[in-house]
Amino acid sequence: MSRWLVPVGVAAVLALAGVALVNGLGVAAPTRAEQAQRLAAELRCPDCAGLSVAESTSASAAAIRAEIDAQLAAGSTADQVRRHFVERYGEWILLSPSAPVAWLLPVLAVLAGLLGLTIWLVRRRAPRAAPAASPSAIDLQRVRDEAEALDA
Residues interacting with another protein, by CB under 8 A?
46-47, 59-60, 63-64, 66-67, 85-90, 92-93
**H-run or E-run covering 105:** helix 100-125
Give dist(CA 97, CA 148) in Å, integer. Answer: 84
The residue among 3 and 123 lying less far from another protein, judged by its C-beta, is 123
The residue among 3 and 88 lying less far from another protein, judged by its C-beta, is 88
Report the nearest approach of another protein to the CB of residue 85 (Å).
8
Report the nearest approach of another protein to the CB of residue 47 (Å).
4
Report the nearest approach of another protein to the CB of residue 32 (Å).
19
Give dist(CA 47, CA 61) in Å, integer. Answer: 8
Residue 52's identity, in one-letter code, is S
* Contacts for 45 with CB less than 8 Å, ≥ 6 apart: 51, 52, 53, 55, 56, 58, 60, 61, 64
The residue among 52 and 67 lying less far from another protein, judged by its C-beta, is 67
The residue among 97 and 135 lying less far from another protein, judged by its C-beta, is 97
3-state secondary structure of 76: coil
3-state secondary structure of 139: helix
Report the nearest approach of another protein to the CB of residue 72 (Å).
15
